[in-house]
Structure 1
Amino acid sequence: MFQQALAANGLVAILRGLRPDEAAAVGHELYRVGIRIIEVPLNSPQPLDSIGILRNALPDDCLIGAGTVLSPLQVEQVSAAGGQLIVMPHCDRQVLAAAKAAGLFLIPGVATPSEAFAALAEGADALKLFPAEQIGPAAIKAWRAVLPTGTALLPVGGITPDNMASYLQAGASGFGLGSALYSLGLDAAEVGRRAQAFIQARNAFQG
């Protein structure tokens, strides 16, 4: 299921700051324009409530998960709330193991090849290259030469429709989209318009 959702366009919506009262509207709009993976960071207001609302509101082919997951306890909480995906800013083996033991999909954050290989050994479904500004397209191209074929690489941090092409050319599989997609105060329609701009940029590169 993870690979199918990622294949839609390779984009993960990161909704940091999302409130439960806006979760359904934002989620429906993102789904309408084509986003199939949505992440609510755990440092958002009542994130577990928002995860549950999104899971109940959206079709089964849309993966809902949590970001900024820092402990095995949080993995358990996300799973209990209906989350299917764990996204981390780091590569802590205890959290990696807890996510896989719970049967959840997993995108850990990595910043070095050593972390990348360690995460893959623990069963990571994709790698979050974070922060993308630090790693950059040149590093991604170098990583591609040594990582297993088919490894999904998702740069996160500072990604905009205007700078996606250089990462894609270097071998990125997709992206995590943060404040350029959603920030506190944006209504669902604006989030949808921004998501469409990202999707169009992605499709233009493919086309």
Structure 2
Amino acid sequence: MTPEPLLAALSASAVPVLPVVVVEDAAGAVPLARALVAGGLPVMEVTLRTPAALDAIRAVAAEVPECLVGAGTVRSARGVADAVGAGARFLVSPGCTGGLLDAMEASGVPCLPGVSTASEALALLERGVREMKFFPAQAAGGAAYLSALAGPLPEARFCPTGGVTAGSAREYLSLPNVGCVGGTWVAPPAALAARDWTRVESLARAAAGLCAGVRRGGAGSAQV
């Protein structure tokens, strides 16, 4: 069964921000997930950049089922298997190769393969992939670049990640080809290290409120 597209699901749920988190200690993953849920962002992307990442995914999947937990920085077929085995419900990659895309699609869970150019986006569209991660968003051209892609590639939808901040998120979210933005500012390393879940909840609530007043136009777009 084909999984529901991730960006479409987040847009339908009015979730404008995908929190991107780097977990150094798996013991903090569950309270982090609960803080995000309490703040109105019931989703988190745990990057596979630390030894604790898979244990963090496993813990959240088991103890916070109301949080949609996924794996980021997926770079290989082995990474796909490990993440799905730990309970990841979606996969995000910084870039994409044919072999990696094959593995992600075979996993049966939604995926956001990464692109940073029009040619890379076209290659994914040829494979039938319409939802993509745009990375590194700010360094690769920012909102102006994605706005330029909306004309020739109207069927593509993006989650820009990499340098996106609370201040720049609204500009991205106003674009017709952006389904949500990914950001680390919702769960900053200092807050995670201090176990400051109150701060995380507050940041999540502010991020969830980015939906207010942002409207999208164009084919295949959604109001958030």
Are residues 1:64 and 2:64 paired?
no
TM-score by length of 1: 0.89
Q: Matches of 1:29 and 1:125 in 2, distance apart?
A: 31
Aligned partner of 1:191 in structure 2 is 200
Compute the displacement of 1:116 (Å): 1.1
Q: State yes or no: 1:162 paired with 2:167.
A: yes
Distance 1:146 1:18, change over 3 A: farther
Give, as a single letter, the amino acid of the residue that structure 2 aligns with 1:70. Answer: R
Greater RCO, CA 8 A, separation 6+: 2
Gaps of 5+ in 2: 216-223
1:12-161 alignment, distance < 5 Å = 12-60=18-66, 62-124=67-129, 126-134=131-139, 135-149=141-155, 151-161=156-166
Paired amino acid for 1:181: V
Cα separation, 1, equivalents of 2:44 and 2:22? 11
Name the count of aligned residue pairs: 204
Deviation at 1:44, TM superposition (A): 2.5
Match for residue 214 of structure 2? 205
Length-normalised TM-score, structure 2: 0.83
Q: Deviations over 1:150-200 (max 9, x none)?
A: x3211112222221222223332210011x122323122211111112222
Q: Percent identity?
A: 29
Residues 121 and 28 (structure 1), Cα distance of their counterparts in 2 relative to 1, 3 Å cut: farther
Q: Which runs of 4+ in 1 moved over 4 A?
A: none
Aligned-pair distance for 1:205?
Answer: 2.4
Query: How many angstroms apart in 2 are the aligned matches of 1:45 and 1:192?
Result: 25
**Displacement after TM superposition at 1:148 (Å):** 4.0
Mapped contact 2:90–2:110 kept (Cα < 8 A): yes
Cα gap change, 1:204 to 1:192, in 2 (>3 Å): farther
Between the aligned partners of 2:24 and 2:186, the Cα distance in structure 1 is 12
Note the alpha carbon deviations across 1:43-68, whole angstroms, 9 max, x for none.
Answer: 124111100111112235x4211111
Change (3 A) 1:10 1:201: closer
